[in-house]
Amino acid sequence: MIIDCHGHYTTAPKELQSYRDGQIAGLKDKSQVPSKGKINITDDQIRESLEGAQLKLQRERGTDVTIFSPRASAMAHHIGDETTSRNWTEHCNDLIYRVCNLYPKNFVAVCQLPQSPGVPPANSIAELERCVNELGFIGCNLNPDPSGGNWTAPPLTDKHWYPFYEKMVELDVPAMVHVSSSCNPNFHATGAHYINADTTAFMQFIQADLFKDFPTLRFIIPHGGGAVPYHWGRYRGLAQDMKRPLLSDMIRNNVFFDTCVYHQPGLDLLTKIIPVDNIMFGSEMVGAVRGIDPESNQYYDDTKKYIDKQSWLSDADKKKIFEGNARKVYPRINKKI
Ligand SMILES: [Zn+2]
């Protein structure tokens, strides 16, 4: 079985964005009392939005099931206030729930969180519990920077985040560290802000004893770990100078990298540097990069093809990357597939 650990509902029917546009327009009119409102999307519209996109690509590429969450760039936690974020998040998660009910063999759900700048992460616990306990979700996407590029929240290792981690541990669900859109024009969302955040989160984990406090807490750092594998020597050296644990020990049970690296040499570097026990197959399709690479005549994001070519990985290694590690990191998936 091939589990793609990283997919978002980027092709949702336009009614979802219309709702969001209305919600944002309403923020300008202070006389309006914000209400959750409704989004009318039919099951047929959901089927239509997926059949020619994610489902077609699953079939063509030979992947079986995608761990599926709301569109990350649209989370935009920096817009509006806590209520804005909660209403938007509940709608987005409810839509993912419907997708997974319509296609239980193809998608397993991961939730967005109703984060907001300056609001304690503990306030996201209720939505995590609703999604996991009531809707059968298996994990969450945690935004380390709800301010959308201004980095006003404390580091992920700060006690600020601990109440939320306690709930993750209790529910035995991991979080993918995933920022959203950038409101800072210095940082292009998918080209800079995403990769910066992946790299930043990893360095934060080196600097503190988070995994001593939470030995079973698990994070997926997406997009191949940002710049981390490429600069593995720098991070090993920094950890050494700072008298921190070996990186291989630090990540062993707690930090995992996906394979959303969109060329062969990059993915080769990833699987040669990072222990196979800490790599999970992911493509993030349909996502940030949708084109065909003229050098290979293949889709950039068809990341399975790159792994298939890696002769230094044994069959057992590939089974871990494609299936075993996802079952270990997202244990709730085992009841779903
Ligand atoms: Zn993503």
Nearest to 201, CA basis, from 234, 227, 163, 236: 227
Residue 101, pLDDT above cutoff 80: yes
Q: 30 C-alpha vs ligand 1 centroid, how far in Å?
A: 33
Nearest to 151, CA basis, from 224, 75, 78, 257: 78
Residue 31, pLDDT above cutoff 80: no
The residue-averaged pLDDT of 28-36 equals: 81
Helix (H) or strand (E) run with residue 219 in it: strand 219-221
Query: Residue 335 has which token pair?
Result: 């009841």
* Pairwise CA distance, residues 12 & 47, whole Å: 10
Q: 239 C-alpha vs ligand 1 centroid, how far in Å?
A: 28
| Residue 33 confidence (pLDDT) | 72
The residue-averaged pLDDT of 44-49 equals: 98
* Pairwise CA distance, residues 92 & 333, whole Å: 20
30 pLDDT tier (thresholds 50, 70, 90) = confident
The residue-averaged pLDDT of 90-104 equals: 98
Query: Residue 298 has which token pair?
Result: 């293949």
The residue-averaged pLDDT of 219-245 equals: 98
Q: 36 C-alpha vs ligand 1 centroid, how far in Å?
A: 26
Residue 32, pLDDT above cutoff 80: no
Nearest to 117, CA basis, from 89, 140, 144, 90: 144
The residue-averaged pLDDT of 297-318 equals: 97
Q: 180 C-alpha vs ligand 1 centroid, how far in Å?
A: 9
Q: pLDDT by residue (tens digit) across 165-210? A: 999 999 999 999 999 999 999 999 999 999 999 999 999 999 999 9
Q: pLDDT by residue (tens digit) across 240-279? A: 999 999 999 999 999 999 999 999 999 999 999 999 999 9
Q: Is the dihedral of CA 283, 170, 215, 197 positive or negative?
A: positive
Residue 98, pLDDT above cutoff 90: yes
Give me the chain's average pLDDT, please. Answer: 97
| Residue 271 confidence (pLDDT) | 98
Q: 185 C-alpha vs ligand 1 centroid, how far in Å?
A: 20
pTM: 0.97
Q: 277 C-alpha vs ligand 1 centroid, how far in Å?
A: 21
For the sheet containing 65-70, what is the strand order?
3-9, 65-70, 107-109
| Residue 18 confidence (pLDDT) | 96
| Catalytic positions, written as ranges | 284
- Between 34-38, 44-48, 78-82, 168-172, the lowest mean confidence (pLDDT) is in 34-38
Are the beta carbons of 225 and 274 closer than 8 angstroms?
yes
Question: Helix, strand, or coil here: 24?
Answer: helix
| Residue 34 confidence (pLDDT) | 74
Taking a 5 Å cut-off on Cβ, the residues next to ion ligand 1 are 72, 284
* Pairwise CA distance, residues 52 & 50, whole Å: 6
